[in-house]
Structure 1
């Protein structure tokens, strides 16, 4: 009987511990911060660590305990489901499922990216190599036109200027685009708007990451590569021609139930490098 009692007691203790762990958001303590980051090769991660000081002397110092997410959508889902979580996403992908904190007192908005007051922003670039098909040329012309830049603006990004009204040369064919999961949502909208004008072209947008997009463009696996960061000199040296299609902010996001609504750049750096591990330290 004593053995049975001890076994029951042990099960009860383990169950209570599990419940406590779950109640704390699965991060080992009610005050503990759950850091959510992107995978290596992500343009958003590359830009984020550089702009926030998480990268030191070209070395990414993201805390080793960070949970790694493979896309913007996964980051948002993870933060939505964990009250202790903090992550970062493209401003153009921000919705009400998560809360964007102010950075140094400045809200993460397209207007603040445009006026230069929001400190975490980066370019959305496309890259091509060699001779392009008429269809690819026409689609790029659409992106840069008044109509294309209106799509960019409607998606919450910041236009860098347009070339005027779009007139299609009415080519036919298929355009394959690959790369950044942050650029993908706005590119899908651009493709949809373009194909409504010219049904003779099919634009296929394939989501991966910025580095894969650049490699695919270099190797001729796609017509256009997407990057949510500056294109590296080593990539340009392999024949890539780069066009910035817009600017985008990187929103630092927390769960909607989190009471924190403002963080300094230094606090963000400390959180993502593991120097600060509890929410009470930044409240």
Structure 2
């Protein structure tokens, strides 16, 4: 009798868990009022060398890991920075975009929607070739210690903030790459140079691919990347994780949608779903 009661209890728990999971999987189990009036979905994506685009496509399961190419629809509107993607979503009620958590979202213009079925976090890296100079080592030590306080203001830390004492190394550092990582590194550089007036750090925002190739070729002393390094990059460069970020999916404030599943998002970005009304059509079929 005890065994049968236990089996019934476990079955009930499993049923409740299934119901909860089903509800949490997203928006189109119920009809979203106002969605049909939005018409065609205007998908906003980053440029091909963007680390944010690479990570986003990987999370959606539409990235070819061998070639590094993704299946994002050719008819997407391309934005060359997080800020540009944000502005396009703010100006178009039918748009959908993705940005770094470092972007300050004005809720009177855009909103972040919940994505179910995938973890949208990623790492920010600094990468260099060969041996670091004394001033580069000192800067990295700052980032991994006291600099984590600055990281914690918008991102997730990768080390416990600790007291930092600069060795006052002299020199210049040229850093280039990811537009997502650049704002954070600029702030870290400014704070570090207050502690070490002998250092001069220049930060150039381009994209992750450019930053990593620049570090390999010597154009930059340090490259910035918001994606994982490819195998050949990993062989030639040493990477240092400085923060963890989350990719946010955003829509215009007038869009009534609040959550979406990772599969629905993949269908939108590959062009399988082109109208907002198709999400409601899916809901009506369930």
Q: TM-score range by the shorter chain?
A: 0.7 to 0.9
> 2:38 and 2:100 mapped to 1: Cα distance?
28
Could you tell me the TM-score, scaled by structure 1's length? 0.81
The match for 2:111 is: 99
> 2:110 and 2:204 mapped to 1: Cα distance?
25
- What are the within-5 Å matches in structure 2 for residues 173-252 of structure 1? 173-237=171-235, 239-252=236-249
> 2:210 and 2:74 mapped to 1: Cα distance?
23
The match for 1:51 is: 59
**Match of 1:267, SS?**
helix
Is 1:266 the counterpart of 2:263? The answer is yes
Q: 1:158 to 1:79 in 2, by over 3 A?
A: same
> 1:104 and 1:236 mapped to 2: Cα distance?
31
> 2:39 and 2:156 mapped to 1: Cα distance?
36
Gaps of 5+ in 1: 1-28, 106-117
Is 1:139 the counterpart of 2:139? The answer is yes
Aligned residues: 240
The match for 1:31 is: 39
> 2:138 and 2:64 mapped to 1: Cα distance?
41
Gaps of 5+ in 2: 1-36, 281-286
Q: 1:196 to 1:57 in 2, by over 3 A?
A: closer
Give yes or no for contact 1:34–1:66 (8 Å, CA) kept in 2. Answer: yes
The match for 1:12 is: none
Cα offsets for 1:82-117 (capped at 9, x unmatched): 111111111122421421101129xxxxxxxxxxxx
Give yes or no for contact 1:142–1:166 (8 Å, CA) kept in 2. Answer: yes
> 2:279 and 2:103 mapped to 1: Cα distance?
26
Shift of 1:57: 6.2
Give yes or no for contact 1:125–1:226 (8 Å, CA) kept in 2. Answer: yes
Q: 1:279 to 1:94 in 2, by over 3 A?
A: farther
> 2:57 and 2:247 mapped to 1: Cα distance?
11
> 2:77 and 2:162 mapped to 1: Cα distance?
44
Shift of 1:122: 0.9
The match for 1:130 is: 130
- What are the within-5 Å matches in structure 2 for residues 51-130 of structure 1? 51-56=59-64, 58=66, 59-96=69-106, 97-104=109-116, 119-130=119-130
Give yes or no for contact 1:75–1:89 (8 Å, CA) kept in 2. Answer: yes
User: 1 or 2 for the larger relative contact order (CA 8 Å, sep ≥6)?
Assistant: 2
The match for 1:4 is: none
**Match of 1:138, SS?**
helix
Alignment RMSD: 1.7
Shift of 1:281: 2.5
